[in-house]
Structure 1
Amino acid sequence: MDLSGVAKIKPEFIVEDHVKVLSMDCVNENDKRKLEAVDVEEDGSVKKRFKKNKNVLKGQNKGRGPTFVTKPEDCFCHSLKDSTLQQTCNYGEKCKFVHDKNAFMKKKPEDISGECYVFLEQGYCPMGISCRFGSSHLDENGVNLINEDVQKKWKASSGNRTVNILSHEVRHELRKHAYNFEKSEKICKENKASKDDKKETENCCKVNLEAKDGGESDVPKVDIAVESDNTPSGPVLDTDIVKTRKCELKKIDWTGKLYLSPLTTVGNLPYRRLCKKWGADITCSEMAVATELLKASPQEWALIKRHESEDLFGVQLCGNNPYVMTKCTQLLEDQMTVDFVDINLGCPIEFIYKQGSGSGLLQRTNVLQSVVTCMNQVSSLPVTIKTRTGIHKDTNIIHNMMPKFKDWGASLITLHGRTREQRYTKQADWDYIEKCSQLCCPVPMFGNGDILSYEDYTESLKKSPSISGVMIGRGALIKPWIFQEIKEKKVFDISSSERFDVLKDYVNYGLEHWGSDTRGVETTRRFLLEWLSFLHRYIPVGILEASQKMNQRPPIYHGRDDMETLMASSNCSDWIKISEMLLGKIPTGFSFLPKHKANSWK
């Protein structure tokens, strides 16, 4: 049954007479070069006329660019932010940042109204004079204040800190290729040698069969040694034949848990922290590219950071060969606090697929086997797999792989019920998920796709009773309280004020994670806007006539109050207005185009 189409909303909330206005504020420069005129027809519809321009960049999001760039001459030196700790710069004359406090204060943007969340929580703000909420913790001379009582209480508390920060020593070793990966290299070589031996054995068997049929074999005969009288008696041990796998040392009970999907860009630490507050059981990092981790890329290692509230946390790796994947697994176990490592076999992005990573690994069975086997052997961390049903449209192939995943030692398999080419345009196939779940038994399997409510959750379990749990992705982006809905077995009618409080929590977590200076504020704003490109799709329960489904668009409607109407807008400029309520005015030169714009309703 095709559930795509228009969501059913109560008639009194639908806007009948309206004129669609194209806001140039939310059009990127590339689209502006294409746009020639906008014609409004008599019926109120919009007709856009485009001119042909060969110089226009083609493809998705080619004109995005950075939303805001901070220049060194506008930033105060990091070494001098807190004048109570240090008076001199660590970098001396090479430092490009501002060192004159008075000169910086003249350039510094106006403080954002409200109190500094970091100061209220920790009793101390490390941003010091650079903090955009500095008026709440700076004295008249710009000296950073400390609330010792709050600070002592925060230091004594647990579960409120960020971990998994790569040390400078390890970062230096990785960049100089000096990190000790002998363990990983040995396992990869042994795995390759065992595969070569297997091929040689198969060739020998073929030759022997030919010799048995009448031909002569060139394979030399081997004398069988006679058993010595000194052979020990008793039970035969298998310690020298079948070695205990290290992955068996650590076990995770996956049954019945709610798993927040690894979400690129929007699945950052503040968002995962918010979902933990609403009841998510399992969280996982954004997809991290293995080769970039081995290069010690700061941007990639930032994805591995974990908040202590994430009590069951994994890291998702993307790579195209066993060498980099095995080394990354060893590195994560040695240096980070991680509960499991997930292999990405579902990423549909074109350049990832062409590299043989993500869903491209499904076409390289031998390489995939080496990846899973070597990762299992190098680490005691459970190795999990997240995959799609196949690659090509309407062609499911993953059921053939399920017994192999089980034999290779996967601890958990998560299946997204669509192929790579389908992306998000079709309904997730939960009947096929059930078929695959039976094939991989006793290895637990999670299902993923189109869960937006408690009703969807129960329907999915009816279609796939064999699965151990569910993973929720876009449903959690549209309504992060879905985890609590499922656990309490009811649907929440979240008001606009409650939703605004959810945004406040996210912003506070973002300022604590990225910093409360100008750069941190604008980074928080950028990720908030990315999330709002999904969050605006939520339709309040009190407005609906029937439950909302994932791929249904709402008609243009007004909310029960002005804030609810604003939150329902699909216009980027309205999302920016919401961000300004929380983070102050946008800076000059700010621009935003959502990364997931093309697939926002798929």
Structure 2
Amino acid sequence: MFNEMGPYTKNILNKELLVALRKKKYDFKMSESLIKFNDRNKQGNVNLNKSEVKQSGTVTNEDVIKIQQREKKIIDWKGKIALSPLTTVGNLPFRRICKEFGVDITCGEMAMCSSLLQGSPQEWALVKRHHTEDLFGVQLCANNPHVLTKCGQLLNQEMDIDFIDLNLGCPIDLIYREGGGCGLLRRSKVLECCIKNLSQILTIPLTIKTRTGVYSNEKVAHKLAPNFQKWGASLITIHGRSREQRYTKLADWNYIKEVAQAAAPLPVYGNGDILSYDDYKVALDTCPELAGIMIGRGALIKPWIFTEIKEQKIWDISSSERFEVLKKYTNYGLEHWGSDNKGVENTRRFMLEWLSFLYRYVPIGVLEQPPQKVNERPPSYMGRDDLETLMASSSARDWIKISEMLLGPVPDNFQFLPKHKANSYT
């Protein structure tokens, strides 16, 4: 679809690229040569004279050195607010909602490099970008530099993105056991190879999102941070919890400050427990060294948090205004996933996942001590009208009722269990 601003949705996997990936005919000689070159020269770049130039397919060592020295696109990260890459719920329709509320930087959901390289349509859907996302990145997850570098080359050449984010924070057991996400924090040599090779293959910035470490009593981010810039990263986002803590403890903003100081002059974003302008201000007061703030669950609970921060206020949003947001999401979902039965099913499923966070919002008008804190369990309360009471329900049956008000009746025997079961309360 097109308008005066160009295509509504970008980064759609075309048939030719899909066939090339599935038949393993895509030309990855550049990334393969880069990895071989770095493996041979682990002490640093080597200046080759003409007699030392070696051919590797269609790419020579000279070409590889030029790759390493080429200039990257520059992004001014200072003072911006970013939306965290949110698995399952951080889809394109949700990011459109957040853009309308004022977020500066958006990033796609975590994409597995191996699935992208196999041409998986479900994984490539995570790369799609709406034209309103003016500063957009893709987050990649892998457990080795070979698939990561190939994926970086592929996205850099074929897609319209502004930066690539490397996931060092995913706590999911399967990914961790296979050495991806948080698992890379325990494999320092592999981590170095991943960052160096990925950075050198890209002409766009490489950013890194990490946790404090794997274990709560063994923080490593401050030790790794100085190396990240040396290896080629342009920005670090530090989530102030360990893998072991998941979401059960408050984010450690004093430690985020320590990481920011250790990483200087590399820009650092802080992430964790921001649910109001008050939280945002306290975070920056605690850590003035930060280049910016990233918000995850806070945006799921109240996507208008970006407006609150930009306008420095607490918004007592009404139930009808919140319902209008859900109406927009419905329209964006049907536009993105289609308006046939499958599209309606997808829109409903992702809306229900979002509602499993949205119900946690407590209206300012009924709070005894505003603003609400992200780790405080919402109390049972009667809303100021029936819709507000319905939106406050923790029952999946009531979330389904809300979806039926927007998408019609659910099929017989329909059930819903939220994919995200993280306990976020103390």
TM-score by length of 1: 0.66
Contact 1:160–1:309 (8 Å) recurs in 2:
no
Residue 340 of structure 2 is aligned to residue 517 of structure 1:
yes
Residue 114 of structure 2 is aligned to residue 291 of structure 1:
yes
Query: 1:333 and 1:433 mapped to 2: Cα distance?
Result: 30
Equivalent in 544, 558, 568 of residue 382 of structure 2: 558
Give secondary structure in 2 for the equivalent of 1:341: strand
Query: 2:396 and 2:145 mapped to 1: Cα distance?
Result: 42
2:26 is aligned to 179
Give secondary structure in 2 for the equivalent of 1:450: coil
1:592 is aligned to 416
1:542 is aligned to 365
Query: Which letter maps to 1:556?
Result: S
Residue 261 of structure 2 is aligned to residue 438 of structure 1:
yes
Residue 227 of structure 2 is aligned to residue 380 of structure 1:
no
Q: How does 1:156-305 map onto structure 2 within 5 Å?
A: 156-158=3-5, 161-195=8-42, 245=68, 248-305=71-128
Give secondary structure in 1 for the equivalent of 2:119: coil
Contact 1:166–1:335 (8 Å) recurs in 2:
no
Q: CA deviation at 1:424?
A: 0.6
2:57 is aligned to none
Give secondary structure in 1 for the equivalent of 2:260: helix
Contact 1:247–1:381 (8 Å) recurs in 2:
no
Contact 2:301–2:359 (8 Å) recurs in 1:
yes
- Structure 1 residues 464 and 516, CA gap change in structure 2 (3 angstroms): same
Contact 1:246–1:376 (8 Å) recurs in 2:
no
Q: CA deviation at 1:191?
A: 1.0
- Structure 1 residues 192 and 470, CA gap change in structure 2 (3 angstroms): same
1:88 is aligned to none
Query: Which letter maps to 2:356?
Result: S
Equivalent in 272, 296, 318 of residue 449 of structure 1: 272
Query: 2:276 and 2:7 mapped to 1: Cα distance?
Result: 29
1:66 is aligned to none
- Structure 1 residues 172 and 567, CA gap change in structure 2 (3 angstroms): same
Equivalent in 399, 411, 424 of residue 247 of structure 2: 424
Query: Which letter maps to 1:384?
Result: T
Q: CA deviation at 1:244?
A: 7.8
- Structure 1 residues 159 and 309, CA gap change in structure 2 (3 angstroms): farther
Query: 1:465 and 1:303 mapped to 2: Cα distance?
Result: 33
Query: Which letter maps to 1:162?
Result: T
Query: Which letter maps to 2:133?
Result: E
Work out which of the two has the higher radius of gyration on C-alpha atoms and give 1 or 2.
1
- Structure 1 residues 473 and 279, CA gap change in structure 2 (3 angstroms): same
Q: CA deviation at 1:554?
A: 2.2
- Structure 1 residues 580 and 196, CA gap change in structure 2 (3 angstroms): same
Equivalent in 393, 402, 405 of residue 578 of structure 1: 402
TM-score by length of 2: 0.93
Contact 2:83–2:107 (8 Å) recurs in 1:
yes
2:58 is aligned to none
Contact 2:68–2:201 (8 Å) recurs in 1:
no
Residue 327 of structure 2 is aligned to residue 504 of structure 1:
yes
- Structure 1 residues 303 and 409, CA gap change in structure 2 (3 angstroms): same
Deviations 1:223-256 (A, max 9, x none): xxxxxxxxxxxxxxxx99x868456331000000
Q: CA deviation at 1:598?
A: 4.4
Give secondary structure in 1 for the equivalent of 2:139: strand
Contact 2:334–2:344 (8 Å) recurs in 1:
yes
2:166 is aligned to 343
Query: Which letter maps to 2:305?
Result: I
Query: Which letter maps to 1:312?
Result: L
Contact 2:200–2:232 (8 Å) recurs in 1:
no
1:397 is aligned to 220
Query: 1:537 and 1:494 mapped to 2: Cα distance?
Result: 14
Give secondary structure in 2 for the equivalent of 1:249: coil
Query: 1:517 and 1:565 mapped to 2: Cα distance?
Result: 31
Give secondary structure in 2 for the equivalent of 1:330: helix
Residue 187 of structure 2 is aligned to residue 364 of structure 1:
yes
Contact 1:286–1:303 (8 Å) recurs in 2:
yes
Identity %: 61
Q: CA deviation at 1:195?
A: 2.7
Q: CA deviation at 1:196?
A: 8.2
Structure 2: which 5+ residue stretches go unaligned? Answer: 46-61
Contact 1:247–1:376 (8 Å) recurs in 2:
no
Query: 1:539 and 1:484 mapped to 2: Cα distance?
Result: 17
Count of aligned residue pairs for this structure pair = 409
Contact 1:448–1:470 (8 Å) recurs in 2:
yes
Q: CA RMSD in A?
A: 1.9
Higher relative contact order (CA 8 A, sep 6+): 1
Q: CA deviation at 1:155?
A: 4.2
Query: Which letter maps to 2:330?
Result: V
Q: CA deviation at 1:160?
A: 6.2
Query: 1:156 and 1:419 mapped to 2: Cα distance?
Result: 45
Q: CA deviation at 1:192?
A: 1.0
Q: How does 1:297-336 map onto structure 2 within 5 Å?
A: 297-336=120-159
Contact 1:259–1:472 (8 Å) recurs in 2:
yes
Query: Which letter maps to 1:270?
Result: P
Contact 1:159–1:309 (8 Å) recurs in 2:
no
Contact 1:257–1:282 (8 Å) recurs in 2:
yes
1:202 is aligned to none
